[in-house]
Amino acid sequence: MKSVLPINSKIELVTDQHVRIQLAAAYRILATFGMDDLTYTHLSARIPGADAYFIYPFGLLFEEVTASCLLKVSLNGEILEGQENEYNRTGYVIHGSIYKNRPDLNAIFHLHTTSGVAVSSMNCGLLPLSQFSFHFYNRLAYHSYDSLALDNHRQGENLAHDLGQKKALILQNHGTLTCGATIHEAFLYAYFLEQACKVQCAALAGGQKIIIPPKKICEKAANDVREFESNFGIRDWTALVRKLERTDPSYRD
């Protein structure tokens, strides 16, 4: 199953095939950054406003994902297209609950990176100590640990409630979650959150007193870093897809 993705033009989630190709690229790109965790975390995306979304089948590595292997899943966790070996209840609870509650979101990235999990276990949360972190200043939600997300009603609703209208969430003692209206928006938030968590771990490990800018400057920076990007994530995403095309275009299959 091959299709042409307009690499240098505006990337839209217009058809199922557009979503499949871009989402497969997202899995591959995050694998190159080492942001996967065996078979345990998941990325999803949908056509804007659709009542179903795409996600990889439980058991694959991110580096193995192709456009045609992605599952199409209803917001209630029914498999509409594709085959899986094992039902991924926790994945469908997390993604389905958020899409139900947020018609503005069309991509969700849930990760367990070492730095993300480390910051998720810190009582202080994410500190505003790097330019990466200002993207999330007063714009980051937190969700208390509640074991595996196996209960669609209670845990899913609690997760969606805690995310509220934000686009990034720390799942305490567990990991991170970023979202976007587009795949490139969810990607860039995932990348910046990962960088912010890495910097925080490194800075705190140094044992020196850290510098936190005044609240007014943090808030200004939060606005400035967002306004700097006219279409958040598109520049970096397009560049990374070009790299993927050069190195391994099999993600489109």
Helical axes 16-32 vs 183-205, angle rounded to 10°: 20
Which residues have C-beta within 8 Å of that of residue 41, sequence separation ≥ 6?
110, 111, 112, 175
CA distance 224 to 111: 26
What is the nearest approach in angstroms of Zn ion to the Cβ of residue 175?
A: 5
Nearer to Zn ion by C-beta: 134 or 187? Answer: 187
Nearer to Zn ion by C-beta: 175 or 233? Answer: 175
Nearer to Zn ion by C-beta: 18 or 42? Answer: 42
Nearer to Zn ion by C-beta: 115 or 130? Answer: 115
What is the nearest approach in angstroms of Zn ion to the Cβ of residue 177?
A: 8
What is the nearest approach in angstroms of Zn ion to the Cβ of residue 167?
A: 18
What is the nearest approach in angstroms of Zn ion to the Cβ of residue 113?
A: 11
Sign of the torsion formed by the C-alpha atoms of 120, 124, 129 and 131: positive
Structure tokens at 224: 């400035």
- Which residue in the block uniquely carries the two structure tokens 């970096």? 236
- Which residue in the block uniquely carries the two structure tokens 């209840």? 89
What is the nearest approach in angstroms of Zn ion to the Cβ of residue 94?
A: 7
What is the nearest approach in angstroms of Zn ion to the Cβ of residue 117?
A: 9
Sign of the torsion formed by the C-alpha atoms of 77, 57, 181 and 90: positive
Q: Which residue, among 149, 138, 193, 146, has the nearest Cα to 170 in the 3D structure?
A: 193
Q: Are 110 and 35 in contact (CB under 8 A)?
A: no
Residues that bind Zn ion (CB under 5 A): 175
The number of beta carbons lying within 10 Å of the beta carbon of residue 37 is 17
Nearer to Zn ion by C-beta: 88 or 130? Answer: 88
What is the nearest approach in angstroms of Zn ion to the Cβ of residue 80?
A: 23
Nearer to Zn ion by C-beta: 92 or 134? Answer: 92
Q: Report DSSP letters for 191-208, one per residue.
A: HHHHHHHHHHHHHHHT-S
Nearer to Zn ion by C-beta: 128 or 175? Answer: 175
Nearest residue to Zn ion on Cβ basis: 175
